[in-house]
Amino acid sequence: MAINKPVRITTPLSNVDVQKLKVGMPVLISGVLYSARDSAHKRLVELLDKGKKLPIDVKGQIIYYMGPSPPPPGRPIGSAGPTTSYRMDPYAPRLMAIGLKGMIGKGTRSDEVKAAIKKYKSVYFAAIGGAGALISKCIIKCDVVAYDDLGPEAIRRLEVRELPAVVAGDMYGGDIYEIGVKRYRKK
Amino acid sequence: MRKVNVAKITAAVKKICIDTNYKVDPDIIKAFKTGLRREKSPVGREILRQLICNADIARRERIPICQDCGLAVVFVEIGQDVKLVGGGLRQAIEAGVRQGYQQGYLRKSVAKDPMIRVNTGDNTPAIIHTEIVTGDKLRVTVAPKGGGSENMSRLKMMKPADGEAGVKELVRETVREAGPNPCPPIVLGVGIGGNFEMCAILAKKALLRKLGKPNQDKRLAKLEQDLLRIANDSGVGPQGAGGTVTCIGVAVESRPCHIASMPVAVNVNCHVSRHGSKII
Ligand code: SF4
C-alpha cells in the first residue's frame, strides 16, 4: 500500500462521502466529532432499548472512541488518542442503524460491525494509538455534552482540524488489518 | 538504622508519574528511528514518523504522550537497615500517585470495582510490590501501565516438556492475536519459571529493564533475540496495519520452578513503555 496524499473530509458525512473512502487511504478529518467510550455507549444503547431520545444526534456524524486526559491550563483538551475499538463492538451496529456514519478508534472490529459498516454505508477510521499529544493539537474546541459524571468517559463534542487517520474499514468490506498483515507476515 | 521520611517516597512517586507521562524514554525514540530505516511498509514508516513527532510535541508542549496515563505500578526495594518514619508506606505511595495524576493533568483510569466500574477519581489505588533487600537504601520504581497493552498479556502454565519451543510458540501466538490492540510497536516482558504469580511479576519486572539491554545469561540473551525475530515476523507492523517493525524489544527473566511446572507469562507493553526509578 503506497501512501497517497491524504484526503480531506469534513463532517457530517453523506453516503457520497463514504463511498469514496477505501481501505488504506490516509485522511485528514475536520469538523465536529463526538467522543464516547464503553460506559457512554452502554448508556446510549440503553436509551435506544427504552425508545428514548439520545443526548446527541448521531445522524451523519462520527464517534471518536477516546477518553482524554484533563486539559492543562490554556488548552481545550489534554492528550487525546484513540482507545481500542473492539470494546464498542457490541454497541456500534445499533448506532449505525440510526444514522451514525463513521467511527474513529484503533484495532480490529467484529464481523458484526464489519457487516453493519457495509449495510449502513459507514466507515471505520484508525488513528494512531499512543499519539495522543499529536492528536490533541488538532482539537480546537471541546465541550462535555452528556454524562459528565463519567469523567474521562463523558460524551464530548469536539471541533477538530485535520485530524490524521487512515481508513481501516470501508463499506466494501475492506479491512486494513487483514490486508496489511497478510502482506508482511512470514510463514 | 537509617531513617527515611516517607514524604521523600511521596515526592519521588509523584515526580516519576509526571515525568514518565511527558517524556518518551530516549531509548524508545532511538528504536523508532532505527525502525524507520528497517520498516518496509510505507504506512508503517508514516506511523513511526508520527510517533517521533508525538514524542516531540509531548515534551515541548506539555501534553501527555498518551491519554491513557496508566495504572501506576510501583516497585519498592527497601533496605533492611532503613527505618521508615513520618507515616505509612502505602499511604505515602498513594499520596504520590494522587498528587502526580492530579497536578500533572494525567488521566485517572482506575475503576473502583471491576464489575461496577466507577472511577475512583484520583488514579489510586496503585499496584504496589515491595521487597526487602540488604543495605540502608531504598529504590522506588514507578511504571504507569496502559490498559490496551495490558489486556493483550498472557500467562500459561506449560508442561516442562514444552521447553523453549513452547515459550516461542506462546510469544508468537500472543503477538499475532494481539495484532493492533496494544499499539505496536510493542515491547515484551517474558517471565519464565517461579510459579503462577511469580512468572507474572518476573514478566512485569522484565519490562523495567533498559530497552535493548540483553539478559546477562547468554542463553537467555539468545532467546530474547529469537523472540524479537518471531514477533517481527508476525507482519503486524506499526499500529497493526502491516509491516516489519512490530516489536522493538524483548526482555526475558527466568528463575527456578517446581519440577512439575513451567509457568510462562508474556506482559505486553506499548511503545509508550513508561518507567522510572529513584534511589533514596
Ligand atoms: S496501549 Fe499504550 S499507547 Fe496504546 S492507548 Fe494504551 S497506553 Fe496508550
Q: How far is the CA of B148 from the centre of ligand 1 (A)?
A: 5
pLDDT classification of B117: cutoffs 50, 70, 90: confident
Distant-in-sequence, close-in-space partners of A136: CB < 8 Å, separation ≥ 6: A68, A75, A77, A78, A79, A80, B57, B63
pLDDT of residue A3: 61
pTM of the model: 0.95
pLDDT classification of A1: cutoffs 50, 70, 90: very low
pLDDT of residue A187: 75
Run of H or E including B223: helix B218-232
pLDDT classification of B168: cutoffs 50, 70, 90: very high
Q: Domains for chain B: give ranges and CATH numbers.
A: 2-20+65-145 (3.30.360), 148-274 (no CATH)
Mean pLDDT within B231-237? 98
The answer to whether position A128 is within a domain reads yes
| DSSP SS3 for B229 | helix
B62 touches chain A (CB under 8 A): yes
Handedness of CA B132, B133, B135, B138 (dihedral sign): negative
The answer to whether position A112 is within a domain reads yes
Number of domains, chain A: 1
The answer to whether position A1 is within a domain reads no
Looking at chain A, the whole-number percentage of residues with pLDDT higher than 70 is: 98
pLDDT of residue A5: 86
- In angstroms, the separation between the Cα of residue B240 and the nearest Cα of chain A is 6
Neighbours of A155 (CB within 10 A): 24
The answer to whether position A106 is within a domain reads yes
Nearest to B67 among A39, A80, A151 (CB): A80
The answer to whether position A2 is within a domain reads no
The mean pLDDT value of chain B amounts to 97
| DSSP SS3 for A102 | strand
| DSSP SS3 for B50 | helix
Mean pLDDT within B236-258? 97
Q: What is the pLDDT of residues A24-46, one digit of tens each?
A: 999 999 999 999 999 999 999 99
Cis peptide before B185 (omega within 30 of 0): yes
The answer to whether position A27 is within a domain reads yes
> Residue B146: CB within 6 Å of ligand 1?
yes
Domain that holds residue A30: 7-186
The answer to whether position A25 is within a domain reads yes
* CATH number, domain containing residue A14: 3.20.130.10
Chain A CB contacts of B239 under 8 Å are 106, 126, 128-129
Q: Which of A186, A76, A101 is nearest to B243 (CA)?
A: A186
